[in-house]
Amino acid sequence: MLIEQFILAGAERMALALTRGLIDNGATIIVSPIKPGGLLKQDFINACLKGQDEQTYQADNRIDCKVTCPIASSKYDALAALKISRIIKQERIDTIIIVDVLRNGVFYTALAEVIGRVKPFTICWCHSLPSGKAGAFVGWLKRYFQCGLLDTLVCVSAAQQQAIIKAGFDKSRIVLIPNGVDLSQFARRETHLPLMDRRRDYLALPADKKIIVQVANMVPDKDFETLLKAIRLLIRDNRSDFHLVLIGRGVDSKQMQDTVSQLNLTEQITLAGVRDDVPEILTRADMLVLSSKQESFGLCVLEGMAAGLPVIVSDLPALAELVEHGKEGFRVPAADSDALAAAIARLLDDASLRKQMGSRGQEKARQFSISQMVEGFYRLIQQAPSKRKQPDADTPY
């Protein structure tokens, strides 16, 4: 498995879950990051340890599952492809799973196959939309497929799959495997215990307020502007019965702090930043919101539903696969702060509706289990030889 970095983000957390699941199914996994660092590094190492202590892991060269050193020392490192080629040969790799399309993983792997004259079954696990921040990746992915350097593209939602097909990708090369959620992580916790992540960062939540949570990194597609406008509208209606918690990379930046301060929302919003205790936070919240303009799946929405929360999301195709309007929560037009504020107000005012929608959300979340996701990949890997296609006759290898 080739991953950009062990950061705490949706695709990386799914990669960790898949690593654990495939190892439990008897697979041998080699995880190679492109870049060093990341909060999930030790979690990947622990998954590969399979119950062994770390000293044994470091000393025993016979250990099959492992995490390698970062393969790139700079943004464009020509030696990275050589390292991947060496790993493929030394570890006798049959299948490579490249996590997402946003960085250099696909390029490095394709180059490794050419210079090393090796051809494992190569899967690109795509968590992006062709119209999102990844840009127009379909064109160069098609070229890799034509050259025989990629075999399968895994999509995480039907909406994402259709968007990629519409952009010109061969639908016969796409496999749909939705993301999953571990329901056991979202059992209700003791609310009197303090919230503290592994870095011992405490998070204090006001006990006399209803807690609204958004889990999203600070990128344009997440549209924090609309959410903050909605919060201001609620305050203008003299509401003081809620508190918003923002979780994700960049939400505790100085830029966001300044924005919240300028809008006079400091008392109403906690900028929690990156945290690894999101399940515990969600089980103490009252609702989850996601004000995105673009989504390929919406993992945090599924996790909110698993925690028994009603959810309010933008009316986007991928999110419509998770949330039926009026059942598990509300879908509101993207970039519509008035509609978002109205939906939040309705849930704030109706405890019975929150409970009803939360219960339905948990039922829906059971349809998206980690085990189903792992089984999908396991079947794909088992069928790899029959799915592999040769390069086009007129295309040089």
For residues 210 and 199, the model is more confident at 210
Alpha helices in 25-148, H assignment, sequence order: 41-49, 54-59, 79-90, 105-116, 138-146
CA–CA gap between residue 281 and residue 227 (Å, rounded): 19
List 187's β-bridge partners, or say none: none
When pLDDT is averaged across residues 28-53 and rounded to a whole number, the result is 90
When pLDDT is averaged across residues 171-189 and rounded to a whole number, the result is 89
Mean pLDDT in the chain?
A: 90
Q: Provide the angle, in degrees to the nearest 10, between the axes of the packed helices 41-49 and 10-24.
A: 10
For residues 352 and 136, the model is more confident at 352
For residues 50 and 66, the model is more confident at 66
pTM to 2 decimal places: 0.90
Residues 6+ apart with CB under 8 A from 25: 374, 378
When pLDDT is averaged across residues 156-168 and rounded to a whole number, the result is 94
* pLDDT tens digits for range 135-151: 678 888 899 999 999 99
Inter-residue contact 232 to 197 (CB < 8 Å): no
CA distances from 105 to 101, 109, 123, 354 (A): 7, 6, 11, 42
When pLDDT is averaged across residues 298-327 and rounded to a whole number, the result is 97
Give all domains of the chain, ordered by start, each with its CATH number.
2-180+371-387 (3.40.50.2000), 183-368 (3.40.50.2000)
* pLDDT tens digits for range 246-299: 999 999 999 999 999 999 999 999 999 999 899 999 999 999 999 999 999 999
Q: Read off the pLDDT band of 397 (50, 70, 90).
A: very low
Q: Is the pLDDT of residue 102 over 80?
A: no
Residue 56: predicted pLDDT? 57
CA distances from 100 to 70, 117, 202 (A): 17, 24, 32
Residue 396: predicted pLDDT? 33
